[in-house]
A = this chain, B = another copy of it.
Amino acid sequence: MDFTLTILGTASAMPMVDRFQSAQVLSVHGRFFLIDSGEGVQRQLLKYHIPMQRIDSVFLSHIHGDHVFGLFPWLSTLGMQKRNTPLNIYAPASFQPMLKFFLSYFGQGVDFEIRHHPLTMKEPQTVYETKSLEVKAFPLNHKIETFGFLFREKDPGMNIIKEKIAEYGLGIEEIGRIKKGEDIVRDGKVIPNGELAFRRREPRSYAYCSDTAPFPQLPQWVRGVDLLYHEATYTEEFSGQAAERFHSTARQAAMCASQAGAGRLVVGHYSSRCRDIAAIQEECRQVFPESVAASDGDVFEI
């Protein structure tokens, strides 16, 4: 059961030759989710062998060019490829007129349905749900309306230890109760659930937080996340600029991971002034050792 993050772009607003702008793909149980769409995202999807047509939803954090300019060229391509399944786009309300304008100019051939789900929440709210996955969106602290996303598997439930079925002569009704975590009674004695069943695995989770300045609620909102992506536009040397532009330093990203009790931290969205990625990673690790400064093409299994 895959739960895999592929980083497609790690540059911020100023373009770089060796890094594309913000875009990622998360694959969960065979479904593909595109998170932000910096310029050239379709090229990166090709390069890293992501099956474009299987992307069923896009999550756009905010409507700054370096996070959205790649979306429209990609939509055109999906049209040329004769996509016929709907595409869901979770994006701020201000995305709607932009989509409408794009379709009015370049919409010929874009014959699949594009469903824009406007984001307006002031605190975490479920925006996407399947039997096995839930996605929450929550506001970030940036110059314009911006949202983060938390992807969390639902509890995969308990598995019966097969030998126990014969040992205790378990019936179907009892097995059902055991899978829900209950104990059973045999000969007046309680057999604890832990002896009969095991949890397949802990539900896995991933959070995307870009672009944002630090704010107190964020670590609570992503508490216990297995993998946290947090922007780290600057090193501490540029903390003034980070504050002025509602961005974070590497240290601030690591503080968030630490306060959230995250499993691992991955950072990106580097300023063109901070090209020494090793320095960014080192600054993170001083606060939160399980940190990685990502490059385009990096893959993280969760």
Binding site for B on A (CB under 8 A): 13-17, 20, 39-40, 42-43, 46-47, 63, 65, 69-70, 72-73, 76-77, 80, 98, 101, 105-106
Q: Are B40 and A77 in contact (CB under 8 A)?
A: no
Q: Nearest-CB distance from A291 to chain B (Å)?
A: 28
Residue of chain B at shortest CB distance from A40: B40
With most chain B CB atoms within 10 A of its CB, the pick from A16, A47, A65, A101 is: A65
- Give the complex CA separation of A240 and B136 in angstroms: 50
Q: A13-B80, A72-B65, A73-B69 are contacts. A43–B46 as well, Cβ < 8 Å? A: no
- Give the complex CA separation of A106 and B15 in angstroms: 16
Q: Are A14 and B80 in contact (CB under 8 A)?
A: yes
> Considering the complex of A and B, which 8 residue pairs feature the smallest CB-CB distances, nearest first?
A69-B73, A39-B73, A65-B76, A40-B40, A17-B47, A17-B46, A15-B42, A101-B101
Neighbouring B residues of A72 by C-beta, 8 Å: 65, 69
Neighbouring B residues of A46 by C-beta, 8 Å: 15-17
Residue of chain B at shortest CB distance from A39: B73
Residue of chain B at shortest CB distance from A19: B43
Neighbouring B residues of A105 by C-beta, 8 Å: 63, 98
